[in-house]
Structure formats: structure tokens, C-alpha cells
Structure 1
């Protein structure tokens, strides 16, 4: 291979990129090179062929097949390009199904279902000739002010790891390579500000941020990883061999490809200022372990070639990366693919897609509070459906959905698939009821002119459904999403005022939150004038409105649980339930950072009783069984989330007061019971010791089950005995679950 042919395999090209803001500083960083010139020596990646503009999938597939044939026939080596796309809430292309956002995956606590979703998404991608998906996001939530919280799964590394690994398995079962994002530390930015510096000790990195990535690599055999934009303790991850080589490859054995987050190689020069020019930025990234520059070759083409020719960069770094990329193309079957016939009549929103989207949306709806008004068993005479998100399809979808990521740049373009609104589904659900609608206010802004009419509608109704929350978008377009960070965790705009004025009418109010982050809802949960019930949904996708309507009517019982703590205030952030004694409220400080509702909280329309039993002792490095007897003590069928927590009472480093050890969903009829057996490896208690070794230390561990992390309904203790155990690569990371 010539030097130009090698470098061509290490870059992408964004064929369709225009002035749309769909990546950070895209307009400033995009190369001006014409595609014909850029691809003369071959091409590593084609960037977002389907996901940049609203193009008909079948027509675009025809273009892609012909382009791949051209690369085979008209370049000397004849190597086709990898096609990558975003797939965080489904394949991000026009007319494709939109699933619940990843924070809703976490709320469902159902890895098996998420794996099925990943499989369905992967099949659509494979049909369109796509090879690599830029998902899942395995950043552990640390601060809800961060705009990208809706892309994350939760604030617990075990939940993130198990659910994220399930998605990897599903996607890769179809022959698509998943890409873990964003390795590592991105979500711990100062004050929740996008791209802000990260100040994190090594132990927090090892015990909280790294485990989900390790699980997806070791247990999910993921084939691609994307670097974080973050600079940790002043050193950008994109220029740090410690993360991208020593941990990822040398310690964990990852042998896939590392791709750069969009423009992050150039950012080493333009934003982090650790490289004097783009050539040096390319050198630092290659040396750290980045193989492919995405979305374009700003640094890896001309600037890098200049350094290679004058000897400032060793060609061995390029050769190493090229071999990894060619190996990936071989794994994907690209080296033998002939691209004979493009698909026609592609259906990206089939009944199978919608069924899975509906199941996941249903399992993710969280009932935060309820004074008994729900379910609405007696059909009301009149329902007032009020709020800015009541009749808005886009309010159901996350930031990386095509609808909110791309279509705002193309006004007038239809969604291309059916996304019923909450108002539409409630009107159908309560067909014999007079359903009236008032927006009341916008999601953002201070226009109060419509509040009075909403209040009048509430006075004349039997019940009010107030649908409030977020509008996902990018870089200032919307209230949540990439670049939409906040310093206030109140509901945006006038929405709190709207709900409080509705409540003051005396008509019962049910508040439905369609959001991408948890908000400070203490006033709605604990206040004297709190709504009669509060439902929390995290962007539940195209079938989300039906899931909400079913829970409100009682057609289905809610079964979602908080994958993140419900914050008390913005001033209490950053907060994690994984805090030691002095990290939470205590007698030494007057500041109360305890969340309004704890991680794991979620009500349903029944009640459950849980009893825990286990062994007295287990050797360090061994396994033990924790048995939970669960009984439905209510009057209707419902699903319980069995949550097992632990606290290491004394250790050589400060330990969290609560740590999720295992979980599973159990559906039971009234009066029925089940026995859940958790086969727990003691590596679930492992910690990074003072010498930064991963160990299991002997000592007493308190275990409990309950409806959330802080409610100890049934307690047991196990003594970890023997000598300290050094965790090995072969040790299990996941708890096995059986039902009896």
C-alpha cells in the first residue's frame, strides 16, 4: 500500500454534510475537499450516508451500492468503505422506527428486551448496507445538569454495564459492529457542562466509570470504541495512551478498532491546545491508540502525511492502525462483498419494530407518586389535557432521534412514520369522555398569555392530565440534548407555574413528565399542593403515548423504576447514590443533598412483600446464593423489580452506603409468589485498594432488598472470609439469576 492508500483507510468522509449543526463545531472543522478527490486512494468510512439529511432509504441504498462498486472497481486496492450511522434511539434515518431513549432503557431494568431491540435495529442497518453503529453510550450519569443525560442508561455502573452489554450483543448478532461511547469520563464534566474539564481521582475512574466498558468488552465482545472528548486532570483522552492502549488493549485485551469522536482529533489543537497544529494532533491521537479519524480527515490526511514524509511521525503507528481497520473490514465481509443488487421497498418501521418499541416504552413508565387517583378506573366526564408536550410528537423522542437531530434543519419535511401524541392516545383511550386540550404555555420562554385559558379548562374538568417536560435538540436548540446543559433543574419555562395554577383550581391533576433528564420535582412530590399523581417518562419513543395512556387508564400497571436519583435541587449536584457516609446528608453539614426520590424508586398498582435470606459466610473470590421470596400482596397483576443492594461495612477505602448488586423483573398475579435466586460472585464487592489493585477484601457485608436503594425492607449479612482476593481477568462480573 502507498502512504496515501494507508491514510485513506484511516479516515471518514461526510458526503452530505452542509451547514446543519449536527456535531460540535462541524461547520468550522469540516474539510473542503471534494469527495471524488478524497476517495481516489480508497476510503475508510462513509459518514452518516442515511442520517444527515432526509433521504429516501431505498433510493439512498441504490446510490450506496453503486458507490461501493465504484470503490471496488476504480481504486487500485478495490476496498469498499465502512458505513457508520447513529443508532442510539433506533437507526437515525428518515422513516426509521424511533425507540425510547437510553435513559428509558435504564428505567425498564430489562437487559433481555434491550437486546431484542438491538437485534431489530441491527437488522435494519444490515439491510441498508450499514456496518457500524455509534452506540451504546456507557457513560455513568454523574450530574443531571449535563445535556447528554438522556443518552445515558443510568447512574449505576452495573445497570449501565448489563443493559449496555445486552444492546451490544443484540446489535452485533446481526453482523453490525457496535461502538462504545464515550471512553471515558465524559459524563463527569465540571458543573455538567459539555466538554468541560473532568477532575476525577483514579479510584472513581476505576470503580465507577470503567466497569461498564469492561463488561461490554469482556462479556459483549464489542468490536469498536469511541474516545471521550474529555480532558481528565488536564490530559485529553484522545491523546492519552493510558486509556486507549494500556487499559483498553493491554489490560482488557480489546482487539477491535478505536474511532475518534467527531472532530476530537482536531480538537487536540483547536480546543485543548495540547497540539501546535493538526499534524501534531494526528500524531498524538495515533500514538494514544485512535485508529480512525471521524467524521472526516481534517488531521489524518494532509497534516499527517506531511509529518510522515519528513520523519516526525513513525509510519509504524499508521501501519498498526491500518491493519486493525483492514481486519475489521474482513470481519464485516467487506473484502468479499460484490454489492450486486441494492434493496428495494425497505420498511424501517415494521410491526416488529413498533411492537418492541411499545414493550420497552411500557416497561419504562415510572409512577413517582400517587394519592390513589390512578388508575382512572371510573371514566371521567371531562378530561383536560394541558401542557406544551401534550400534542407534540417530537416531545416523545430523544436528542439523537432523526426527528430532533436532523429534521429541524428541514422545516416542512414530514416525520415519515406515525408518532401519535399523548393527546391523540388519551382521546382514543377515553373514547366516551369529553377530552379538551389547552397548551397553557410553551416548553421554553415566558409567554403567559395562554395560562388563563388552561386554568379555565381545568376548572370545568373532572381531572387534568398536565403533560410537561423537555424538547430535545442540539447546541441551544431545545432544553436537553448535546450541548444543552443547564444550571437550574426546575422544569423549563413557565411549566411549574402552569401546573401549580392548575392544581389551585381544586381539580385533581396528574402530571406527566416527558423529559430527557430528572428534574427537581420536590414541589410536585412532597408539597402541600402537589399533583395527585406524577408519571415520569424519559423520551419513550414512537409508541410512548400509548404506553402513557395505558398506565393512566389502568389498562397496564406501571413497572418502570428510576435509573437515576430524583434531585432535590441544582445546588445539590453533582450527586450519586453511590456515596460514602460523608457524601450524603449528615450531622456535620446543614446542606441536605438527599434526593427527593431514591435510585430504584417506582410505584405500581399493586403491592409486594420481599424477604431475603442468604448464607452466613463465603470465601473471598467465591460465590454465594442470595434468595429473595417475593409475594404480590395487592389486588391486581403487576411487575416488581427485585433489587439487591450491599454495603461493605468496613474497608481500607471509603465505600458507598448502598451499591446495586443484582436486579430482575418479576411479574406476579395477586397472591402469587416467586423465589428469586441471585448467584452472586464476591467480585460484585470488589474495590480498588490503596495500591490501585482490584481486590475483594474480607469482612462483613450488609445485604438488603427493598423498593429502592435506601429502603431496607429485608436485611441479611454475609461475612466474606479468608485472605484478600486479587481479582483476575477470568473472574465473573455478572450475577446469574434464576426464578423458582
Structure 2
């Protein structure tokens, strides 16, 4: 056989491959750049198909092999609204760690769980909301006013700290693969957005150019240029008369032209609709849709872009402009590996078993420990583990919502502060508990009623088990066999976005397929009720969906059709001690969050207030756990209680119900440690003057109860720092809707705060010395080194958060009082000395915005380096000069 004969089959094969390649669409060619593939795919779509892809709930295009995709997902402090996930401290608590490395570690874990959950959803053909890879986090708005209910979602009031924490979060989410992005992060809400919640759909903000560029924009610029954030979300409000979600200045000039942003822009949900409905910038939906696309909003969370077809026909927008927006959206889907074989995508190999892994749970506890801020301590803390009797009192002590804040997932086994304390104390310590007071007066409080403990229930006659038998079903009609049956010790559940079985799967009780059921389920609990004494009981069922309660086969509570937010149902019944009563509780989930509780008030029970005082009198010390929960502060809520309105706050003090109880507890003469939960500053002037110890725990996440106990008993030395200023209760703040920074935050406030920005105490003491600058002067484009030593002069190991501020001296223009420009965490043993150094670059760290020249500039002159333990506790300072 000659060589030509040998080569013929090979040549034929090459020709066949070449022809096949020529016939294959470019968007399917794995060897072509993502940009070329995205453009090719868009070119093959009809106009109607293109328009449908510009909404958050994008339909499939079967003829092109494009699967359906829902862009909306959340990951503020853990994968949210998708069932089981590790829940870390709320964003404001993460900011309180002042720890970029920890933030990167946490965000990496979040994106691991996000990828694992997405691929499990996809394997099962599930492509709905909260199941994708595009996450609308982080929120890097500046927490300029403590009344803002969504401030808990931010990293505080300082632009520099917000930028540092935000960049770390973005890098952890998006990963480090050179080809495929792990998930998309979204910097929101661009820009100048921080309440009031009630006005956000029609408000027009006109900040000064200086405030815009020195306060509201720097974090966004850092996330774009340093963090490489994939997406930016517009805001609801107007800025200088333009919708922030369709602003030529914000989206075209600043974001894309000045900063070089190449990603995609998404609207906040229905903010494109607001353009014509509330802002009245245009009159019709087609005009609003055209305005959004033309001015740079690529993706509409909402339905207004459905009107782009008539907008094209009315010549309000061109198909070419639609193509530009769609190419950006398809490009990110290629970059996430959505059109490539999973085996080629590094991130697709993350197994579902990482979700809620034990090491993630441990990280959640460590993060919570580092977030807790010791506001005051006159020696009461740490508590002795040998204390004989400890009273734990307060409305957030045994409340899961006090751990979560908002935008959270479902933790497998959340540990409340009461539970954490009980786990921490020794066997000789008796822990007494009383809720004592409602969270806020006037609020229907289904969680205020004591739960029926397991020892008063059994799953069937004669059983030695305690609790009720729970049968979990798909759908609300209890049809077919239950997907799972178990004994629940108490009926007290809260599931985010449904999916109770996802919670169970984390404990290995269900397969991952069963665990990803989502919403629409029902549960039937049955067994016997065993009252301890005879008399009149009040049975109370709290639920936010359908619920029915039967006693001895008689329907006594019927709330099956009353789908309301956490409705309380109560009924009085006469029960006899020694008799077993058949009990059946049925519940179905239908709306967003699922919650059900079964409690009772027993005969002769004292009012909660008196019960709390009795507990305090019987104890050696009291831990009062109060503050706020996400039920009263948050995003655009239907809340109208004293001190609260629409999700925002109108009073910075503790709610009156809690203040009265706290004062009565103090009057018993027993030492009281105050533990605060919440996402914003609290004016606790009375407590600061009279109580020996105060902790700020924020919304500390799934292991928050353990972390608080770790700090209370000295297992962990507190090292959190305040990312916001705590003002005094009589401080007259600027108007909430005034976006001028004058008089706001530590940078511009000239009064005396209750607790300053950066404040946080320790169980040990640190001394600062030997501050040195490597030069007395520096060029505007140069750099300056500052170094010093820090010594632990106390008796415990601890971490000091060393903070560097820069202040202008005799500035010729309005400037901030000072600006945070460096943070270093130093872990030191007793007697140990650490060396700390910082690098200052005037072009970044001393710049101001020159409105006349429309650019940043560095003024020559004298400045002061201030290094200390807070913005007010400066331990060392030196001046230097910036030369022309």
C-alpha cells in the first residue's frame, strides 16, 4: 500500500471535521472568545426573543439551545432565599470585624455553596428565582443616617472601609479562575441611595459634587476598578433629576466612560416602571423602557422591558441599541460557563455536600465572635462559668430572627443567645429565662408566648419519646405519602422562602434532591398533649400561612384560608392534669417565608414582666438581651409602631417596652449585662450611665448564640469595632431626606457621640508607642510609610484593631474632619509586642474633589497622621507635609 493510500482516510477525516466546524454556529465553538460567541448568539435571535432576554426571568429559546434563566439571586451574608445555607453575620456585623481577610474567606464559602446549589438545581431541571449564579450583592451604599432600615445591609458609614470590605467580598464571590467566573457579584444601589424607604420610588437627590465624589461614589469606583465586579444595580431614586436606573451621567459618563466598566447594569426591581409611574420623567411604559436601555440599563428586574417591542415600532429605540444591552448579558452567561460542558468549568465540580459543611458552621461562629463589639465593661465581664444562678431575660434572647437580619438563608441549626448561654455554662449553673417584654409595644407578638416544651407532648399513646410526630408533604393537601416523618421536640420553625426539608437535609436526613423542594409544602403534627396542672390554658398558634389546630378531634383553631404575615391564633381551653389529649396541628406554606409555632399560657402564670423580675431577684447576675430584629427594621416594610415607620426608625432609643423592663431589672440591685441585637445604632444613654457591661451583637448569624456566650464567658476576647457612629438620644440629627454630609458620620459630625466610629473594647489593654514616619514630607504622587509598635499590657491574649486616620491641618477648603485610611489587626499574647506599618499614597489617601476642575486633586500643605483604637481614641499622631 503506497503512502497516498495511507493518507486518504486521514485527509477525509480532516475535511469532515473542517466542514462540521464550518457548519457549527460560532456561539457553540468552545475555542472562540466569549465576546465573539455572545455576539453570534445575539445575532441569531429574533427581535421578540431579544426583548424577552432583557428581563430577569428570561425564557428558554429551544431552537438555539438557550435554557431559561432567572437572574435574581441574593447572597448578602450567605446564599439567601434558596433554602438551606450557612448564614453568617449580617453585613453590618461583617463590617464590624474590620477584617478584609476574613471577609474574603466568608465570601469564598458563600460562592462555594452558591455554585453547589445552582448545579444541583440545574441537574433537576430547576431554573427559577434564587437558583442562578448572578447574585445581587453586596450593598455598598453609605449608611449616612442611623434611621435607615436597610443600613444593616451595608458596611457602615465610611467610604474607605466600605470599599475595602466590598472589594474582598466581590473577589471571594467571583473567584480567581482565569477563564470562568465563579458567580457574579453586583454592586448596589448605584448611587446616592440610603432612605427614607417610604420615599425611595419618587425621591430626587441633589448632593453636592464634593459629597458625590468623596462619599457616595468611592466604594463603587473601587469595586469596579479594583474588584472587577461583574454587575452594577441602579437605585430607585432620581439623582439630579435623572432616574438612577436610567441616568446618562451615572451609567454612561461616570460608570462606563470615566471608570471603564465593561459589565452589565441591572435595575432595582420595578425601578424602570418608576420612571413613568412615580418619577413622571416620561408618560408611558414604552418610553420608560426605551430610556432604560438607551441610557445603560441592560437588564430589567420587572416587566417594563416587555414594552420594548412597541418602543421599537414607535422608533423610541433601535434594535441595535437592544443588541448592545443583550450582548453584555449573554457574555456574562458565557463567562459563567452556562453554555459549556460542566466538566470544563472548574466551579461546576464543587459537590453539593459543601453546603452547610461543618467548617462553614465553624467559620460562621468565628465571624460572629469577631463582629461583637464590647461597648462598655466595668469589670462585670467576662462572667464566671461557676456562677450559681444566671437570669437571661429579654425579647431577643430566644429569638431566631435576632440572628438573621434580612436577606438570609435557612440555617440548619441556629443557636439563639439563650441556647448559646445554656450550652456554655457549667453543670453547677442554673439558667433562668423569661422573655419579660415585647420587642415593641403595639406589635402582635406570636413569638411572645412560651412554647410547649417537649416533656408535655408525646408522638403517640404510651410512647417514651417527647414531642409530636411531624409528617412533611409536598403541596398543601397532604396528598400521597409524606416525604419525611420524624418527631419534632417543639413546634417552632421559621424557613426562608419555604423548603423546610432543605433544613433537614443539612443534617443528613434527606437526599439533596428531596432537599431542594422549594416552596409549597405542608406539615401535619400529631400526638398527645399532657398538661402538668389542671385549669384554663390559652393555646396559641403563630403562623404566616394556613393553619388548623385540633384537640381531641375537635377543630379549635381554623386559619386555613388566612394567609397573613405571622398571624397569632389563640383559644382558651380547660385541661386536666393526668389526662392525655389528642392533638393535631396542620400547616401549609404558601407565601414567601414560612413560620409556625405552638405555645401556651399555663394556669396561674404570672405576667411576663413580673416573671422576669422574679427571675432577676433569684439570680446572681442578669443578661438582658434586647434591641431590634428584622421584623421592625428593613426594606420598605409595612411597619408602623412607636419608633418605627415603613422599615426605618423614628427613634434611636430602645423601644419603650424594653426600656421599662431594663430599668426595673436594674432596680433589683443585681448586676445587669446588656446584649444588643440589631442592624443599626442604638441610643442607650441610660444603660451607658448605669449598667456595668454592654455588648453589640448585631444580627450575628446561625452561630450567634454561641459567639455571644463565648464573649460573655471569656472564651473569646471581643475585638469588633463600630462601623457606624452611635449618637446620643438627644442629638438633633439633620433631616433624614437631606443628603448633605454636613453633620453626619464621624467624618463631618462635630458633637460628642455616645460611642464613636471605630470604638470597641477588649478584655485586655494595648499600648501604642514609637510612631515614626519615614519622611517629614512627601510629593503628591509619592508615598509615605508610618510605623509603630503595639504592646499587650493586659493579662489576656487579644486582637487590637489599629486604625490610621488622616486629617488636614488648616485646610483652605471644606474637608472631612478626618478619614480612615488604614486598618491592621494585631493578635498579641500578654506582654507581646507587635510592629505595625502603613503606607499612605496621597493620590488615593489625601485626594479631594475639585468641582471647578471636575477632577480629584491633592492639596499641598500640612496633614496629620492619627493612629489609635477608634476615631476618637487617638494614641499617637505626627504631622507631615505634601509638597507641590
TM-score interval for Structure 1 and Structure 2 normalised by the shorter chain: 0.7 to 0.9
Corresponding residue of 2:74: 86
* SS across alignment from 1:713: strand
* SS across alignment from 2:386: coil
Give the 5 Å matches for 1:77-116: 78=66, 81=69, 83-92=71-80, 93-116=82-105
| Cα separation, 1, equivalents of 2:99 and 2:640 | 29
* SS across alignment from 2:96: helix
1:574-633 deviation line (CA, Å, top 9, x unaligned): 499x99998799xxxxx9843211000000001111132212111111101011211111
Corresponding residue of 1:308: 312
Equivalent of residue 436 in structure 2, options 430, 433, 440: 440
Corresponding residue of 1:162: 164
| Alpha-carbon contact 2:623-2:675 (below 8 Å) kept | yes
Q: Going by fraction, where is strand more abundant, 1 or 2? A: 2
The alpha-carbon distance between structure 1 residues 416 and 659, as it changes in their structure 2 partners (threshold 3 A), is closer
Give the 5 Å matches for 1:289-308: 289-294=296-301, 296=302, 298-301=303-306, 303-308=307-312
Corresponding residue of 1:251: 258
Deviation larger for 128-137 or 697-706: 128-137
| Cα separation, 2, equivalents of 1:145 and 1:385 | 28
The alpha-carbon distance between structure 1 residues 166 and 575, as it changes in their structure 2 partners (threshold 3 A), is farther
| Alpha-carbon contact 1:422-1:546 (below 8 Å) kept | yes
The alpha-carbon distance between structure 1 residues 443 and 478, as it changes in their structure 2 partners (threshold 3 A), is farther
The alpha-carbon distance between structure 1 residues 570 and 170, as it changes in their structure 2 partners (threshold 3 A), is farther
Shift of 1:186: 0.6
Residue 220 of structure 2 is aligned to residue 213 of structure 1: yes
Equivalent of residue 148 in structure 2, options 135, 143, 146: 146
| Cα separation, 2, equivalents of 1:272 and 1:445 | 36
* SS across alignment from 1:491: coil
The alpha-carbon distance between structure 1 residues 88 and 630, as it changes in their structure 2 partners (threshold 3 A), is same
Give the 5 Å matches for 1:558-573: 558-569=718-729, 572-573=732-733
| Alpha-carbon contact 2:734-2:744 (below 8 Å) kept | no
Corresponding residue of 1:179: 186
1:278-313 deviation line (CA, Å, top 9, x unaligned): 11111111122100001x3x1112x21101023122
Deviation larger for 673-682 or 81-90: 81-90
| Cα separation, 2, equivalents of 1:696 and 1:538 | 37
Give the 5 Å matches for 1:299-698: 299-301=304-306, 303-337=307-341, 346=353, 348-377=355-384, 379-402=386-409, 417-431=412-426, 432-445=428-441, 449-473=607-631, 475-476=637-638, 483-525=646-688, 527=689, 530-569=690-729, 572-574=732-734, 593-611=751-769, 612-614=771-773, 615-682=775-842, 683-691=844-852, 692-698=854-860
Shift of 1:662: 0.5
| Cα separation, 1, equivalents of 2:414 and 2:777 | 53
1:414-448 deviation line (CA, Å, top 9, x unaligned): x5610011111111111320100010111122599
| Cα separation, 1, equivalents of 2:838 and 2:163 | 17
Deviation larger for 659-668 or 476-485: 476-485
Deviation larger for 285-294 or 473-482: 473-482
1:267-287 deviation line (CA, Å, top 9, x unaligned): 112222212121111111112
| Alpha-carbon contact 2:111-2:174 (below 8 Å) kept | yes
1:253-276 deviation line (CA, Å, top 9, x unaligned): 110010111111111122222121
* SS across alignment from 2:827: strand
The alpha-carbon distance between structure 1 residues 560 and 343, as it changes in their structure 2 partners (threshold 3 A), is closer
Count of paired positions: 641
TM-score calculated relative to the size of structure 2:
0.69
* SS across alignment from 1:369: strand
| Alpha-carbon contact 2:734-2:743 (below 8 Å) kept | no
1:652-707 deviation line (CA, Å, top 9, x unaligned): 42111121110111110011111111111112010002423201111100111122
* SS across alignment from 2:437: coil
Bigger Rg, structure 1 or 2: 2
| Cα separation, 2, equivalents of 1:160 and 1:132 | 21
Residue 101 of structure 2 is aligned to residue 122 of structure 1: no
| Cα separation, 2, equivalents of 1:714 and 1:343 | 48
The alpha-carbon distance between structure 1 residues 201 and 190, as it changes in their structure 2 partners (threshold 3 A), is farther
* SS across alignment from 1:326: helix
Equivalent of residue 12 in structure 1, options 33, 37, 56: 56
For the aligned residue pairs, the C-alpha RMSD in angstroms reads 2.7
Residue 274 of structure 2 is aligned to residue 267 of structure 1: yes
| Cα separation, 1, equivalents of 2:147 and 2:274 | 23
1:706-728 deviation line (CA, Å, top 9, x unaligned): 22102222110111112xxxxxx
| Alpha-carbon contact 1:521-1:567 (below 8 Å) kept | no
| Cα separation, 1, equivalents of 2:645 and 2:166 | 20
Corresponding residue of 1:282: 289
Structure 1: tracts of 5 or more residues without a match: 14-37, 43-70, 403-414, 586-590, 723-740
* SS across alignment from 1:243: helix
| Cα separation, 1, equivalents of 2:744 and 2:321 | 44
Equivalent of residue 236 in structure 2, options 203, 209, 229: 229
1:131-181 deviation line (CA, Å, top 9, x unaligned): 211111111110010110110111110100000100000000061010111
* SS across alignment from 1:132: coil
| Cα separation, 2, equivalents of 1:570 and 1:346 | 51
The alpha-carbon distance between structure 1 residues 317 and 653, as it changes in their structure 2 partners (threshold 3 A), is farther
| Cα separation, 2, equivalents of 1:123 and 1:482 | 37
Deviation larger for 421-430 or 230-239: 230-239
| Alpha-carbon contact 1:662-1:678 (below 8 Å) kept | yes
Corresponding residue of 1:63: none
| Alpha-carbon contact 1:190-1:197 (below 8 Å) kept | no
| Cα separation, 1, equivalents of 2:381 and 2:821 | 32
Corresponding residue of 1:411: none
* SS across alignment from 2:205: coil
* SS across alignment from 1:108: coil
Shift of 1:460: 1.7
| Alpha-carbon contact 2:140-2:188 (below 8 Å) kept | yes
The alpha-carbon distance between structure 1 residues 353 and 338, as it changes in their structure 2 partners (threshold 3 A), is closer
| Cα separation, 1, equivalents of 2:173 and 2:272 | 27
The alpha-carbon distance between structure 1 residues 582 and 333, as it changes in their structure 2 partners (threshold 3 A), is closer
1:64-123 deviation line (CA, Å, top 9, x unaligned): xxxxxxx5xx24453553644100020012121111111011100001111111111111
| Alpha-carbon contact 2:198-2:646 (below 8 Å) kept | no
The alpha-carbon distance between structure 1 residues 287 and 384, as it changes in their structure 2 partners (threshold 3 A), is same
